[in-house]
């Protein structure tokens, strides 16, 4: 399997995992404070990411076979899971601000005042934001035809979401727009760094950098009585901590690094539809025939973007 196809495969798995983020967040904020949710998911994932870095670093140092594979560039990316350089730390801070703190917090706050259907307006703009930052930060130069299909796919998703209604104009819209911008930057910066370090290293180090802030914050904002928090909210917290915050990024950053930030980023056009399918299954939200028609149009746009990305 060539790098381009591998990148698209990893990217799709990442999008599939991320598709459950908004429904899970909507369930969690029904009983958990958005600030606590943001801090807790980052703290839990940060502890796991730190443990992963420690264990695999020790494994690489003490396992001669793994060390030889690393030197040949066959294991864990191009660098060992050692300490990042000064320049890498700056990039990791950008990643942390974008996808560890910014996007989770802003979407959690927004989903307290707008519906998930209304939020799709902005999720549909995420691929375009990722592509723009891919040009600005990743040095990519997609062809004009790529931009045509990228804009068409974003317009299809946004048009569908606007037609669904859902209200919530105002502060909720502003929060979602800010979330999309910081997330697009975090995606592009992480993908750029993943060309030197593998995706699991990038997200793990970003989580570790945020941990000294997020862990104490989570402890301070902890619910006074966990017995009052139902299992759906706890399950949602577990999902966004383990999958949305860590595992999803392992696949996503590798996909962006191998297949191209702008090109693979178009797979995010499928995320709103996958998320709505999960919302219909888990939250019993109605999903009509129109979503499948728009989804078909989006698939065409993604395929064309892949062809000319």
Q: Which range (78-82, 132-136, 252-256, 265-269) has the least confidence?
A: 78-82
The predicted structure's pLDDT at residue 211: 96
Identify the domain containing residue 172 by its residue range. 3-71+83-308
Q: Percent of the chain beyond pLDDT 90?
A: 32
User: In this model, does residue 212 exceed pLDDT 80?
Assistant: yes
Burial of 281 (0-12, 13-18, 19+ CB in 10 A): exposed
What pLDDT was estimated at residue 86?
84
Task: Identify the three-state secondary structure at position 1.
Answer: coil
Note the pLDDT of residue 61. Answer: 64
Could you give the number of structural domains in the chain? 1
Average pLDDT of the residues in 239-267: 87
Q: Is residue 43 part of a domain?
A: yes
Task: For the chain, report the end-to-end CA distance as a whole number of angstroms.
Answer: 18
Residue 76 resides in a domain: no
pLDDT bracket for residue 306 (50, 70, 90): low
Judge whether 260 lies within some domain.
yes
Evaluate whether 238 touches 20 at the Cβ level (below 8 Å).
Answer: no
What is the pLDDT, as a whole number, of residue 76?
Answer: 43
Neighbours of 55 (CB within 10 A): 11
Sign of torsion, CA 87 38 52 17? negative
Q: What is the pLDDT of residues 121-155, one digit of tens each?
A: 677 778 788 888 888 776 777 778 777 877 887 77
Cβ(112)–Cβ(31) under 8 Å? no
Note the pLDDT of residue 230.
93
Look at residue 78 and tell me if it is in a domain: no
Q: Is residue 207 a part of any domain in this protein?
A: yes
pLDDT band at 169 (very low <50, low <70, confident <90, very high): low
261 vs 82, residue with greater confidence: 261
pLDDT above 70 for 68: no
Cβ atoms of residues 79 and 196 within 8 Å = yes
Give the pLDDT score at 83: 79
CB 119 within 8 A of CB 176: yes
Residue 256 falls within a domain, yes or no? yes
Cβ atoms of 278 and 238 within 8 Å: the answer is: no
Give, as one character, the DSSP assignment of residue 82.
-
- Angle (deg, nearest 10), helices 144-164 and 116-123: 170
Q: CA-CA distance, 56 to 271, in Å (whole number)?
A: 31
Residue 197, strand partner residues: 77
Chain mean position to CA 186: 9
Instruction: Give the dihedral of Cα atoms 62, 68, 71, 76; nearest 10 deg.
Output: -70
Distance of CA 55 to the CA centre of its chain: 24
Contact (CB, 8 A) for 205 and 92: yes
Give domain status of residue 263, yes or no. Answer: yes
Q: What's the CA gap between 166 and 161, in Å, rounded?
A: 9
SS (H, E, C) 100-137: HHHHHHHHHHHCCCCCHHHHHHHHCCHHHHHHHHHHHH
Q: Is residue 77 part of a domain?
A: no
DSSP annotation of 240:
I
Q: Is 168 left (phi over 0), alpha (psi -120 to 50) or beta?
A: left
């Amino acid at each position: 399997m060539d790098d381009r196809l591998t990148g698209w495969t990893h990217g799709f798995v990442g999008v599939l995992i991320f598709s459950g983020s908004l429904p899970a967040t909507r369930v969690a904020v029904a009983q958990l404070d958005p600030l606590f949710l943001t801090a807790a998911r980052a703290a839990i994932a940060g502890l796991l990411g730190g443990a992963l870095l420690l264990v695999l670093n020790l494994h690489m140092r003490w396992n001669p076979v793994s060390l030889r594979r690393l030197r040949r560039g066959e294991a864990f990316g191009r660098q060992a899971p050692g300490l990042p350089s000064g320049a890498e730390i700056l990039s990791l801070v950008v990643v942390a601000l974008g996808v560890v703190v910014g996007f989770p917090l802003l979407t959690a706050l927004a989903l307290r005042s707008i519906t998930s259907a209304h939020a799709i307006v902005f999720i549909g703009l995420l691929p375009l934001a990722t592509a723009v930052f891919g040009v600005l930060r990743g040095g990519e130069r997609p062809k004009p035809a790529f931009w045509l299909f990228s804009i068409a796919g974003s317009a299809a998703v946004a048009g569908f979401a606007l037609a669904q209604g859902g209200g919530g104009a105002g502060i909720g819209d502003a929060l979602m727009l800010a979330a999309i911008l910081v997330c697009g930057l975090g995606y592009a910066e992480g993908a750029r760094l993943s060309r030197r370090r593998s995706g699991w290293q990038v997200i793990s180090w970003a989580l570790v950098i945020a941990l000294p802030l997020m862990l104490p914050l989570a402890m301070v904002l902890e619910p006074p009585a966990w017995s009052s928090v139902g299992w759906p909210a706890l399950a949602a917290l577990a999902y966004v901590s383990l999958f949305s915050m860590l595992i999803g990024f392992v696949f996503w950053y590798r996909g962006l690094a191998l297949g191209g930030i702008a090109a693979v980023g178009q797979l995010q056009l499928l995320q709103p539809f996958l998320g709505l399918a999960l919302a219909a299954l888990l939250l019993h939200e109605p999903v009509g025939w129109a979503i499948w028609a728009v989804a078909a149009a989006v698939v065409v746009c993604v395929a064309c973007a892949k062809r000319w990305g």
